[in-house]
Structure 1
Amino acid sequence: MSLPVGTRTQLADLLHGARVLLLDFDGPVAHLFARHPAPEVAAAVRQFATVHSIGLDDVRTEDPLVLLRAAYRHSPRFGRDVEAHVIEHETRAAAVAEPTPGAHELIRVASTIGRRVVVVSNNSERAIRTYLARHDLTEHVEHIIGRPFGHPEQMKPHPHLLNAALDITRAAPADAVFVGDSITDALAGTGAGVPCIGYAKRPERAEGLADADALVVVEDMHTLAAALRP
Structure 2
Amino acid sequence: MTLSAGARAQLAYLLRGARALLLDFDGPVAHLFAGHPAPDVADAVRHFATVRGIDLSKVHTSDPLVLLRAAYRHSPDSGRDVEAHVIEHETRAAAVAQPTPGAHELIRTAASAGHHVLVVSNNSERAIRTYLARHDLTDHVAHIIGRPFGHPEQMKPDPHLLRAALDIARAAPADAVFIGDSITDAIAGTAAAVPCIGYATDPERAEGLTDADALAVVDDMHILAVALRA
Q: Normalised by the shorter chain, which TM-score bucket?
A: over 0.9
Matches within 5 A, 1:186-197: 186-197=186-197
1:111 aligns with 2:116: no
- Which secondary structure state, in structure 1, belongs to the residue aligned with residue 185 of structure 2? helix
Instruction: Give the equivalent residue in structure 1 for 2:216.
Output: 216
The amino acid across from 2:206 in the alignment is: A
SS of 1:133's partner is helix
Could you tell me how far apart the structure 2 residues matched to 1:91 and 1:219 are?
A: 26
Q: Partners of 1:135 and 1:204 in 2: how far apart? A: 31
Aligned residue number for residue 73 of structure 1: 73
Shift of 1:169: 0.8
Q: Shift of residue 204 of structure 1?
A: 2.4
Q: What is the alpha-carbon distance in structure 2 between the residues aligned to residue 167 and residue 183 of structure 1?
A: 23
Q: What is the one-letter code of the residue matched to 1:40? A: D
Deviation at 1:201, TM superposition (A): 3.0
What pairs up with 1:166-181 in 2 under 5 angstroms?
166-181=166-181
Equivalences for 1:59-208 in 2 at 5 Å?
59-208=59-208
- Report the residue type matching 2:197 in the other structure: I
Q: Distance in 2 between matches of 1:107 and 1:212?
A: 25
Partner letter of residue 180 of structure 1?
Answer: G
Aligned to 1:51: 51
Alignment partner of 1:7 is 2:37: no
Distance 2:35 2:81 in 1: 24
Distance 2:203 2:4 in 1: 16
Paired residue type of 1:77: D
Aligned counterpart, 2:33:
33
Contact kept, 8 Å, 1:48 with 1:82, in 2: the verdict is yes
Q: Deviations over 1:3-58 (max 9, x none)?
A: 11111111110001111000000000000000100000000000001110101011
SS at match of 2:197: strand
CA distance in 1, matches of 2:153, 2:84: 16
Give 1:42's aligned residue: 42
Count of aligned residue pairs for this structure pair: 230
- Opposite residue 14 of structure 1, the aligned amino acid is L
Q: Please give the TM-score of this superposition, normalised by the length of structure 1.
A: 0.99
Distance 1:144 1:71 in 2: 25
TM-score by length of 2: 0.99
Q: CA RMSD in A?
A: 0.6
Note the residue ranges of structure 2 that are not aligned, 5 or more in a row: none
